[in-house]
Amino acid sequence: MKSNLLTSILSGLIFPFFCFVFIDFAPMNIYENDVLVNEASQSTELLAFIEFYGVGNSLLIYSKIALVIFLFALLVCVLNQYIKSRIETEL
């Protein structure tokens, strides 16, 4: 079970970072009534995301993504262990 938790925690922390690195978030603009309200001008995706949403909201979004991926990875690990034990008992 320790390896399942470790795998889930690592995937939950590392995968969202790679999403921010590889997914193109720039440029982002918000318009209200045809007036530009917020604009991200940084060249890198991660910095543009942080500039656009702010540090607090960026960390909140990152933690939500990390939690979802952690739970999904934990579910996959537990299901894998359950299926392995069921196959071993049937053989």
> What does each of the 91 residues of the chain score in pLDDT, given as a tens digit?
777 788 888 888 888 877 776 766 655 666 777 776 666 665 567 777 777 788 898 889 888 888 888 888 888 888 988 999 999 988 7
Q: Torsion angle of alpha carbons 68, 39, 48, 73, nearest 10°?
A: 10
Report the residue count for the chain: 91
One-letter amino acid for residue 45 of the chain: E
Considering the entire predicted model, what is its pTM? 0.66
The range of the structural domain enclosing residue 86 comes to: 2-90
Number of domains forming the structure of the chain: 1
**Residue position matching structure tokens 């540090």:** 55
Q: Which two tokens stand for residue 31?
A: 């318009």
